[in-house]
A and B are shown apart, each in its own frame.
Chain A
C-alpha cells in the first residue's frame, strides 16, 4: 500500500510538471507582449525594454523556463503583471468559487445520472429507456453555454426562480446556494447525461453476468439484485470516469462561469490569457492540473475500496 501511494505521488509530480511545461511554452507561442499590454500604446522603447528586463522576458526562452521552474518548486509562481499580486494568491482566491461549482455540478450529475442509467438498463428497449437515452444524447450534444443561456432565459427571466447572476457578495450561505444552484444545475446536467449513458452500458453488462443469474436462481429479490448486487459492480467503471469527468467539468466551468458572470478559476485564467499575464496563467493551470490529478488519485483509492481485486493486486 505504501509502495502504491509512493508510486501515485511520483506520477502526480511528473504529470503536473509536464502540464506546466506544456503551458509555459504554449503561452509563449501566442503572439503579443505583456510589456506592451501593461504600458499601453504610448510606451517608449526604453521603458518597454526596462520592463522586459525586469520580468526576465529578454532572456532566451530556455533560461526563462529554468528560472520559472526553479522558483515554482520553492512555491514562488511569480507576480501577476496585471494586478501586481502574487500569482498563487490570486489563484487560490478564486479556487473556492470553481471548486464549489464543479463539486455541486458533479454531485448533481451523479444524483441524476446514476439512477437514470440504472432505470434505463433495467428497462432496456422500453419507452423509458428510449426517452432517457434521447434526453441524455441531447444533454451531451447541446453546448453547455447554450444550455446556460436557455436556463437563464427560462428559470431566471420567464420564471424568476433563480437569480441570473451566478454569484453574490452576500455572506448568507442560503443566498449563496441560491446563486450557485442554476450554474451548478447547468454544469451537472451535461455531465449527468454522460454518466447516465455510461451507467446504463455498465449495468447492462453486469446484468448479463453469471453471478446475477445465480442470485436470481436463488430467489433473491429483483430490487436487491439490481440495486445492491449488480450496481456495485457497475459503479466501478463509472467511478473511474467520474475522475475524468471532473477534469472536463472544470473546463466546462469556464463557460458556465462566463455565462453566469461568476468569478472562478476559469474566468480568471481566461482574462489572464487575454492580458498575456503569463505568471497568472501558469499558476492557474498548475493549480488546476494539481486538482485534477489529486481527484483522480483519490478516486483510485476509492476504487480499491469498492473493488477488492484492486486492493490485493
Chain B
C-alpha cells in the first residue's frame, strides 16, 4: 500500500497476500500478491467477476481458507498483529469482536435446525461470559438494531420461516453482535430481491456509522455499491488491478478492465434500446493465465502489445499516490481513450 503510512493508520492492512491451491496442474494462486488497506470508518468496495479472488482474499484474512488452499505469503495486519502468524485460538478471538463477516447467501448461511435466536446467542456466548438469558436479551436488542419487526417473537423462528431479507438482517445482527472494528460483507445483496437490496445496503451503512466500523463491501455490481463506498479496489484473476477513490474510479478509471466493468452497468439515463456492453472474451482461467497482463486477451486497447505480454504489470501510482493501476497504458485511458 502507499508507503509512508504507519500500520496504525489502517483498520486492516493486507500486504502482498498470496493464497494458493494445489491442483493437478500445479499450484494456483487464487489470491496473488494482493495488498489492500482499509482505514478506520472507511468503506472499501472490492469489485470483480466471480473467481477474481475477492472472497478468497477476505476468507484468508480471517484464516478461513477452505482446505487444501492455504496462505503462502504476505501479511495481514490488524490491531498491530499479523493475523497470518496467530494460532487458531488467537484467531478465533479476533473473529467476531475484531473482524466479522456477512456472507452472500442468507438461505444457506443460517443453520436450518436452530432458531435464529439460538444462533445469535451461540455467537455472543462464544466471546462473552454471559448466561443464556442475558445473551438472549442482547440478541433481541440486536434484531431491533437491524430493524426486524417484533424481535421478541421472531427470535424463536427458524430460518425457513423468514424471508430472504429477514435472514440477511439476522446474519448482519450476528455479525455486529460483538461490535467488530471491521465488517466484511461478501455480496450481501446478491441473493436478494432488487427492492430489498437497497434496504440492506442502507442498513449496513447505518450500522457502520453507528458503530464506527470499517467496512468492506465485496461485490460484482459496482453500480449498486457506488453510493455507499469511499474507495474501490478492482480485482482480476487474483490481483488488484485498480485501487482508488470511488468517484475517481467512476470519473476516470485507469484500468481497461474497470472501464469495461463500468460500461456494463445498465443506465437509466442512457438511450433506450441500446445494447449493454458486455466484456469480450472469457473470464480468466487461473490454470492457464496468459503471460504478462492477465486481462490482455480481453483488453479493448489491443491484445497484441509486446510490453503487455512481457510481464505482469505491477500495481503502481498513476499521477497521484491515491490512484493505483496495474495497466502500463493507463495514460491512454486518462486521455479519454476509454469511453
Contact = CB atoms under 8 A, between A and B. Distances in A.
Interface of A: 209-211, 213-222, 224, 228-229, 232-233, 236, 306-309, 312
A211 B95 contact: no
Going nearest first, the 4 A-B pairs with the smallest beta carbon separation are: A219-B95, A219-B96, A210-B108, A211-B111
B36 interface: no
A309 B174 CA distance: 22
A166 B62 CA distance: 57
B122 A220 contact: yes
B142 to A, nearest CB: 12
A224 B111 contact: no
Given A210-B105, A308-B113, A309-B160, A217 B62 contact: yes
Contact of B126 (A210, A211, A220, A307): A220
A217 B122 contact: no
Interface residues of B, number: 33
Contacts of B88: 222
A233 B114 CA distance: 9
Interface in B292-327: none
Contact of A219 (B94, B103, B113, B119): B94
Contacts of B111: 211, 215, 229, 233
B97 A219 contact: yes
Contacts of B178: 218-219
B109 interface: yes
Given A233-B111, A306-B113, A312 B161 contact: yes
Nearest to A309: B160
A309 B92 CA distance: 31
A199 to B, nearest CB: 16
Interface of B: 62, 64, 88, 92-97, 100-101, 103, 105, 108-114, 119, 122-123, 126-127, 158, 160-161, 171, 174-175, 177-178
Nearest to B175: A218
Contact of B93 (A219, A222, A307, A308): A219
Contacts of B94: 219
Q: Tell which of A220, A222, A309 has the most Cβ of chain B within 10 Å.
A: A220
A198 to B, nearest CB: 18
Given A209-B108, A232-B113, A221 B100 contact: no
A218 B113 contact: no
A308 B112 contact: yes
A217 B126 contact: no
A232 B122 CA distance: 14
Given A210-B109, A211-B110, A306-B113, A218 B103 contact: no
B161 A218 contact: no
Contacts of A220: 122-123, 126
Given A219-B96, A308-B160, A214 B171 contact: yes
Contact of B96 (A209, A210, A218, A312): A218
13 contacts: A210-B108, A210-B109, A213-B64, A215-B111, A215-B119, A216-B95, A218-B96, A219-B94, A219-B126, A219-B127, A219-B178, A220-B122, A220-B123
B108 A217 contact: no
Contacts of A213: 64, 103, 109
Nearest to B97: A219
Contact of A229 (B103, B114, B174): B114
Given A224-B122, A224-B126, A218 B109 contact: no
A76 B123 CA distance: 60
Contacts of B177: 218
A221 B93 CA distance: 10
A217 B158 contact: no
Contacts of A307: 112-113
A219 B114 contact: no
Nearest to A209: B108
Contacts of A224: 122, 126
B92 to A, nearest CB: 5
Nearest to B174: A218
A213 B100 CA distance: 12
Nearest to B127: A219
Given A217-B103, A218-B100, A224-B126, 19 more contacts: A215-B123, A217-B62, A217-B64, A217-B101, A218-B174, A218-B178, A219-B92, A219-B95, A219-B126, A219-B178, A220-B122, A222-B88, A222-B92, A229-B114, A233-B113, A236-B113, A308-B113, A308-B160, A309-B158
A228 B123 CA distance: 13
B158 A211 contact: no
A312 B126 CA distance: 30
A216 B67 CA distance: 14
B158 to A, nearest CB: 4
A86 to B, nearest CB: 47
A152 to B, nearest CB: 43
A221 B127 CA distance: 9
Nearest to B58: A217
Pick the most buried of A221, A224, A306: most chain B CB atoms within 10 A of its CB.
A221
A210 B103 contact: yes
A218 B108 contact: no
Nearest to A216: B64
B126 A221 contact: yes
A233 B112 CA distance: 8
A214 B112 contact: no
A304 to B, nearest CB: 11
